Amino acid sequence: MNRAVKQLADKNLVWLLEPGVYQIHPLLTGGKMRAGLAAVPGIDSLAPERFGERLRQRYEGRLANLGISA
């Protein structure tokens, strides 16, 4: 569950219909009820020791796209 959906669920403005599918409260949709909100993808979490490595790889990739060496 992503942070925005979790915060809305904490306020009872979104609820779970089935795993990964949520319903938005009609108050937020102008009174319209839908069959359900599109599936909310899970967020992959990185181990803290890999986080810096991943950021460095993304940064190096961006520099490579610019033709600059790191």
What range defines the domain where residue 25 resides?
3-66
40 or 3, greater pLDDT = 3
- For residue 46, the model assigns a pLDDT of 67
Residue 42: predicted pLDDT: 66
For the entire predicted model, the pTM comes to 0.42
| 7-11, 17-21, 29-33 — most confident range | 7-11
∠ CA 44-19-8, nearest 5°, is 75
| 36: alpha, beta or left? (left if phi > 0; alpha if psi -120 to 50) | left
Number of separate domains in the chain: 1
